[in-house]
Amino acid sequence: MRKVPYFHPESGTYTNRRRWVGLSFFIFLIGVPFIVIDGASLFLLDIVNMEFHLFFRVFPFTQFYVLFGLTIAGVAGLIYVTLIWGRVWCGWMCPQTIITDFLRVFEKFWLPRKNIKGVNKYLRLIGSYATMTGFVFLVALDVVWYFINPYDFLNRLTTGTLSAFAIGSLAVSFIITWLDMVIVRQSFCEYLCPYAKMQGALFSESTTVVAYDEKRGETDCTKCLMCVRVCPAGIDIRDGLQMSCIACAACVDACEPIMAKKGKANLVRYWSAEKTPSLLRDKSFMVALVAIIASLFVIWQVFFKIDLQVNLSRNSNFTGKIISGQIVNGYTLVLDNLGSDEKRISVSITPAEFKLLPPITYYLVKGNETVRLPLMVELPVGKEESEFILVVEDNKGDRKEINQGFFRVK
């Protein structure tokens, strides 16, 4: 519980940096659903069409392993950051912290630090909550836009055709976000956030944390309590490292001018047991390796994996026959287009003595579509033990070759 009135930090080396980092990251999070190229988003979990967009590529939900790889990369990356720099994510880039900082700015605008009485007090309170509610509504909208295409959402909203599901999703998102950001705020970090609970097991002596110099504090500390007043988590950094600390360094900025007046070094700072901390110290090497491998897997799936999957199998319902000195057998060709673009497929066969019936000059396969084509292959009698190669090529030049052996009549 906070022991002294809260004072929002005005400026300071870390406060200014955090302000720009938070603003930039917030704009990025708001803008991500709107970044679209040729109908594909930078990131979108499209629950309406049962597909997800990642780096302007579209995947069906059946390829969930790509999202799983992205999740593993993100979690491993966050654990790595915690092992090296502690809870710097919480204080600098966590949406919970960034949005809460925005709300404090609105409160400061409407409720300056002076006695306000009478009707003016209630009008300012109304203005404060109205501004915060409008801002939270924007955040709730953005959350929904990560699941429903924002352009489609806004178009349906203006035409009055927005589905009950979309309206319900927005309402639930708004209520949860409002309660979290306006009421719960930093208490979420201390009592509800699973990452806050996990950090205790991840910290080591070499982890960089915000720390108070206890030895010098006995003689140099002025007991001004500014480090406590500016702490958004309401803790006293002088009591040592605590689970609620989000490493925002507001206390560092608060103590610095006080110590500067005394001509002494800051009592609070980012600190590590290692004088020259390594980026691969302790157990962080294995975590970094997992993050890199998972990231490379996602990059390969998104940028290098061929969208067209091909499979050829014998048609068990078609019995091989001899017709006019030619052996004819049946097959089923499965074409699975994993991309969002339509593909023009051509199919050919080698060696020259084999023939496709009927010949396939081209076949159009829509994005995220799977088709099954019945094929018949013809071969002169006497060459039953031959092998053929079915060549499948799309309009982008991606080529698949399928070996099929022992062509024979049953």
User: Looking at the structure, do residues 23 and 96 belong to the same domain, yes or no?
Assistant: yes
What is the pLDDT at residue 82?
87
Asked if the structure places residue 18 within a domain, the reply is yes
Give the Cα separation of 145 and 147 in Å (integer): 5
User: Looking at the structure, do residues 265 and 157 belong to the same domain, yes or no?
Assistant: yes
What is the pLDDT at residue 142?
94
Most confident of 17-26, 34-43, 299-308: 17-26
User: Looking at the structure, do residues 223 and 142 belong to the same domain, yes or no?
Assistant: yes
User: Looking at the structure, do residues 260 and 127 belong to the same domain, yes or no?
Assistant: yes
Asked if the structure places residue 113 within a domain, the reply is yes
- Provide the domain limits for residue 131: 13-34+86-273
Asked if the structure places residue 366 within a domain, the reply is yes
Query: CB 258: neighbour CB atoms within 10 A?
Result: 17
pTM: 0.74
Domain boundary residue, one of 273, 294, 320: 273
The yes-or-no verdict on residue 6 having pLDDT over 70 is no
What is the pLDDT at residue 333?
86
CB 96 within 8 Å of CB 232: no
Asked if the structure places residue 7 within a domain, the reply is no
Domain boundary residue, one of 223, 256, 273: 273
What is the pLDDT at residue 385?
62
User: Looking at the structure, do residues 253 and 123 belong to the same domain, yes or no?
Assistant: yes
Burial of 281 (0-12, 13-18, 19+ CB in 10 A): middle
Domain count, the chain: 2
Angle in degrees, CA 261, 267, 271, rounded to 5: 140
User: Looking at the structure, do residues 139 and 200 belong to the same domain, yes or no?
Assistant: yes
Structure token pair of residue 341: 């673009």
Give the Cα separation of 211 and 267 in Å (integer): 8
Asked if the structure places residue 123 within a domain, the reply is yes
Asked if the structure places residue 354 within a domain, the reply is yes
User: Looking at the structure, do residues 327 and 241 belong to the same domain, yes or no?
Assistant: no
pLDDT tens for 57-93 read 888 787 888 999 999 999 999 988 888 888 888 889 9
User: Looking at the structure, do residues 269 and 330 belong to the same domain, yes or no?
Assistant: no
Asked if the structure places residue 279 within a domain, the reply is no
User: Looking at the structure, do residues 29 and 113 belong to the same domain, yes or no?
Assistant: yes
User: Looking at the structure, do residues 334 and 380 belong to the same domain, yes or no?
Assistant: yes
Report the percent of the chain where pLDDT is more than 90: 27
Place of tokens 């491993």: 76
SS3 353: coil
Asked if the structure places residue 54 within a domain, the reply is no
The yes-or-no verdict on residue 31 having pLDDT over 90 is yes
String of DSSP letters for 169-234: HHHHHHHHHHIIIIIITTHIIIII-HHHHHHHHH--TTS-EEEE-HHHHHHH-----HHHHT-TT-
Domain boundary residue, one of 214, 248, 273: 273
User: Looking at the structure, do residues 140 and 252 belong to the same domain, yes or no?
Assistant: yes
User: Looking at the structure, do residues 265 and 120 belong to the same domain, yes or no?
Assistant: yes
What is the pLDDT at residue 30?
94
Q: Residue 381 sits in a domain of what CATH number? A: 2.60.40.10
pLDDT tens for 273-299 read 776 666 766 677 888 899 999 999 999
The yes-or-no verdict on residue 268 having pLDDT over 90 is yes
Structure token pair of residue 301: 């799936």
The yes-or-no verdict on residue 410 having pLDDT over 60 is no
